[in-house]
Amino acid sequence: MDGNYPDGINGGEDCFNPPAEIIEDPELDEVTQFIVAQALYKAIAEKVKTGKKGNMRGRIDAHFAELWEKTRAMGAPAKSFDLEVNGTKVGTYSITAAAAEPEHDENRIVTTDEEALLRWCMERGFIQVDRAKVENWINDTGELPDGIGTERVHVEAKPARISRTTVRIPKPFEALYALGEGHLEQSVLELMEGGE
């Protein structure tokens, strides 16, 4: 059978079929590390974002708000809760509460004439109405600028409430290792696939 090999060579010789070279997995380069980190961040960010009632953070906030209400009803509202993984403390969940406010009336600053206020601001070097500077002027001098007035407003009572929550996990890897072997990979895969 004619072939492209020289006489006496059939292509089965070792020089044509060297043994497979075993290549060790190299460490991830910086670009690959970034891609993985960005993918994890994107998969996780929406789940832990504050202010969303239906995500993981929202459900955890609701859980601790319920505990806070129960402890408040007993007269000693808890301000901090330990966060544990498999019995190991890995962080804290802290609550900052706003005190109850009684029903009251107060004076509020209102704009009565936009044009007069703009003219007053421009005379003082403001290009536009800068509400913060106007309020600072009133606080510093006690004088109301042109175009500003006050109105009496009734404010309903407000109960004590949670104003802010903070999650602190100072050593993230301790929390991950506390999951135990095999659980971390499974948890990450579930998060990447949209689970919680």
81 in Cβ contact with 89 (< 8 Å): no
Residue 148: strand pairing partners: 111
Other Cβ atoms closer than 10 A to 93? 20
* Annotated domain spans of the chain: 30-101+159-192, 104-155
152 in Cβ contact with 160 (< 8 Å): no
Per-residue pLDDT for the chain (196 aa), expressed as one digit of tens each? 455 666 666 656 665 566 656 555 556 778 888 888 898 888 888 889 998 888 999 999 999 999 999 999 998 899 999 999 889 999 999 999 999 899 999 988 899 999 999 998 888 888 788 888 888 888 899 889 999 988 999 999 998 899 999 999 998 888 888 887 767 777 777 776 766 6
28 in Cβ contact with 21 (< 8 Å): no
Question: In whole angstroms, what is the distance from residue 137 CA to residue 143 CA?
Answer: 7
189: its two tokens: 């895969």
